[in-house]
A and B are shown apart, each in its own frame.
Chain A
Amino acid sequence: MNPLAAFAYAPLLKGFLALLAAGACFPLVGVFILRLNLIPLKFTLMHGAFLGGALALAVGVDPLLAGFLLNAVIVLTLAPLARATRLNEGYVAGFFMTLTVAVAFIVIYKASVPAKDVFALLWGNIFALSSIDLAVTVGFALAAAAFVLFFFKPIGAVLFDREIAFSAGINERLYSNLIAIASGFTVTLAMKLIGALLLDAVLILPALAALLVARSARGLFVLASVFGLTYALIGFAGATAVDVPASTGVTIAGAVGFGACFAYSRLVRRSRAMKGTTDNTDEESNHG
Chain B
Amino acid sequence: MSNRNIIIRTEKLSAGFGDRVLFSGLDLEIREGDFTLIRGENGSGKTTLVKILLGLQKPRAGRVWLFGAEVGSREWRRTRRLAAYVRQHAAASDFPINARETVEIGTAALRVGRREKKLAATEAMRLVNCLHLARSPYAVLSGGEKQRVSIARCLAQRARLLVLDEPAAHLDARSKTDLMDILARCRREQGLTVVLISHEHHEAIAEEDGISGLSFEDGVVRRDGEVRL
Contact = CB atoms under 8 A, between A and B. Distances in A.
B98 to A, nearest CB: 4
B109 A168 contact: yes
B140 A164 contact: no
Interface stretch (A133-141, A216-224, A225-233): A216-224
A215 B95 CA distance: 9
A156 B85 contact: no
A168 B101 contact: no
A168 B105 contact: yes
Contacts of A217: 95-98, 101
Interface residues of B, number: 30
Interface in A154-197: 154, 156-157, 159-161, 163-171
A253 interface: no
Nearest to B138: A160
Contact of A165 (B101, B105, B163): B105
Contacts of B55: 166
Contacts of B170: none
B107 interface: yes
B56 interface: yes
B28 interface: no
A23 to B, nearest CB: 21
Task: Give the one of B80, B97, B109 with max A CB within 10 A.
Answer: B97
B101 A163 contact: no
B92 to A, nearest CB: 5
Contacts of A160: 91-92, 95, 97, 102, 105
Nearest to A155: B108
Of the listed residues B109, B135, B163, the one surrounded by the most CB atoms of chain A closer than 10 A to its CB is: B109
B106 interface: yes
Contacts of B95: 35, 159-160, 217
Contact of B91 (A164, A215, A220, A272): A164
Contacts of B108: 153-154, 157, 165, 168-170
A159 B109 CA distance: 16
B101 A156 contact: yes
A101 interface: no
Contacts of B91: 160-161, 163-164
Contacts of A170: 105, 108-109
A167 B96 contact: no
Nearest to B117: A153
A156 B97 contact: yes
Given A167-B54, A216-B97, 13 more contacts: A35-B95, A154-B109, A157-B105, A163-B56, A163-B85, A164-B91, A166-B56, A167-B80, A167-B84, A168-B106, A215-B98, A217-B97, A217-B101
Interface of B: 54-56, 77, 80-81, 83-85, 87, 91-92, 95-98, 101-102, 104-109, 135, 137, 140, 153, 157, 163
